Structure 1
């Protein structure tokens, strides 16, 4: 049985490996998704001991929350699952607009509750900051919902250090979710120290850098999706990055593990990172993600990995 960890200062306890569900019903993110496969991914996660699901209104839009709601209803074990979802997007005249106004956030939570077929959300995030709403006012609206029992913990996502400090003026923020991986370490300068000092849990997204840190690519791999324009995947930079990943593979080989497992295990050694949310498009990938918990890094290995990607 995996020892569960506390998410920051919340009352939420989870398996350190959760499940990111943008490929469950996220038709606007991935083409040709099978919804039945997506539901099977969620079922496999719950059966395997993963109890933390991360979704959002914009995955679909709406569909990821709906599919998770269907699975939770059929399984009948809502109280054993920790659900995180996010809101801030809305469509105005066919265009996406970001809105952090208290009224819209309250409406977003009510709509997510319906889609998830539940009467409370464990962790609700403001998905992106807007340009006009004072951040402490936005978080204040979520605090009212927390006091009313509709949500249990308050998160913000994609906030700068200034926005996070404003949002946390009253100490209400429980979790920050931001992009962080070995190639993209800017959050180490200010955000991670701040979250560590304030007891805010930090949850990284894109931890495997669009698959680059998974160790499955070679210099001959070609990309016809968004990665083709990503500087990490271009020319000499791509080859240099692959050489760095190769050094992780050496550590992984010594441990009988995969490169991705070593990378994910490294994140769990960072201050204020309690849980990870790698995604999965197939049930076997869910089981594979859990092998991260079998990897134990020495202090020397932790330092070596940090140096490789300095």
Structure 2
């Protein structure tokens, strides 16, 4: 698997990483051992970029990653990105200050078992935070204090990403991008490229929609966000099925199927499509299935898509998805 430069961080990371939200919480019941085994499988498959957050299982995801890295002595071989901010209660802009951020950073350092975080990302803060220079000054201070090596942001909206990269200390932006969420490929990708900002793509498979394994009869556990966040009841609805109403998403999946080559899964096709954009540094599908993790990694080595395949993706987006998502995020 090839590596790409992650902005100006100095890290070169595998094109396919591992997202670890599901080994912490909100995806049904996942045991600690299953979570650790997912991390081991990813490392064995060549992955060297792991993404987590302090609220995934109240630190469970971070701790599982830390335990695997310790057992393997792999701290120097793997880049771990975590996130902070969503522990604030209430989750309001003024909470993104030096005092709170330092406390969150110290807790993540302890969970991961490291002196300094490789990459800290603000965790989808309110839009107003991107207009608070003091928040980014606090991150500069924490970096100068040796508690983190680099920092970036995880955003909900293109607007937030564009504002964030005006701050010179922001070296990465994590954003939702997939065939059902195409707006970032317009202005944002151009600006990220121009400023040499690393782009981490999350929700690449639209919460499983773009695996092609979900249908109208699929039932989700009560503690799975695909059950309880369909209308954005718990957090931004764009995190669930990439914000696409499930029925429209299923119709779009059916329309996309003819573009999938024989022997390639829809998930692999989707990841290959995402990686065709030069602005993307890495994509972070999440799974606890060893087979799925290995298949996701293999997508990086698939041949480029054809012009007809790109056109089918564009047509499906225009016909089924655009009206639901394009201007919202």
TM tier relative to shorter chain? 0.7 to 0.9
1:148 is aligned, of 141, 145, 148, to: 145
Alignment of 1:209-288 (within 5 A): 209-218=206-215, 220-224=216-220, 226-227=225-226, 229=230, 232-235=244-247, 237-249=248-260, 252-253=261-262, 256-288=263-295
Kindly tell me: are residues 159 and 184 of structure 1, through their superposed partners in 2, closer, same or farther at Cα, counting changes over 3 Å?
closer
2:303 is aligned, of 296, 303, 309, to: 296
> Contact 2:177/2:274 (CA < 8 Å) preserved in 1?
no
Alpha-carbon distance in structure 2 between the residues aligned to 1:215 and 1:159: 24
| Higher mean displacement: 221-230 or 13-22 | 221-230
> Contact 1:100/1:130 (CA < 8 Å) preserved in 2?
no
> Contact 1:135/1:166 (CA < 8 Å) preserved in 2?
no
Kindly tell me: are residues 171 and 214 of structure 1, through their superposed partners in 2, closer, same or farther at Cα, counting changes over 3 Å?
same
Kindly tell me: are residues 60 and 306 of structure 1, through their superposed partners in 2, closer, same or farther at Cα, counting changes over 3 Å?
same
Alignment of 1:170-209 (within 5 A): 170-209=167-206
Gaps of 5+ in 1: none
Secondary structure in 1 aligned to 2:283?
A: coil
Kindly tell me: are residues 4 and 212 of structure 1, through their superposed partners in 2, closer, same or farther at Cα, counting changes over 3 Å?
same
Kindly tell me: are residues 105 and 248 of structure 1, through their superposed partners in 2, closer, same or farther at Cα, counting changes over 3 Å?
farther
Number of residue equivalences:
299
| Higher mean displacement: 278-287 or 165-174 | 165-174
Alpha-carbon distance in structure 2 between the residues aligned to 1:217 and 1:170: 40
Larger RCO (alpha carbons 8 Å, 6+ apart): 2
> Contact 2:252/2:316 (CA < 8 Å) preserved in 1?
no
Secondary structure in 1 aligned to 2:76?
A: helix
Q: Superposition RMSD on alpha carbons, in Å?
A: 2.4
Alpha-carbon distance in structure 2 between the residues aligned to 1:135 and 1:142: 12
TM-score under structure 1 normalisation?
A: 0.87
How much has 1:42 moved relative to structure 2?
A: 0.8
How much has 1:303 moved relative to structure 2?
A: 4.3
> Contact 2:256/2:312 (CA < 8 Å) preserved in 1?
no
How much has 1:102 moved relative to structure 2?
A: 2.2
| 1:204-248 deviation digits (Å, cap 9, x = unpaired) | 211111211112234x4334465464674544x245313323133
Secondary structure in 2 aligned to 1:138?
A: helix
Alpha-carbon distance in structure 2 between the residues aligned to 1:285 and 1:14: 20
How much has 1:190 moved relative to structure 2?
A: 3.5
Gaps of 5+ in 2: 232-242, 319-329
| 1:19-46 deviation digits (Å, cap 9, x = unpaired) | 001122x13x133211111111111111
> Contact 2:165/2:197 (CA < 8 Å) preserved in 1?
no
TM-score under structure 2 normalisation?
A: 0.82
- Which residue matches 1:89? 86
1:108 is aligned, of 97, 104, 116, to: 104
Kindly tell me: are residues 39 and 3 of structure 1, through their superposed partners in 2, closer, same or farther at Cα, counting changes over 3 Å?
same
Secondary structure in 1 aligned to 2:181?
A: coil
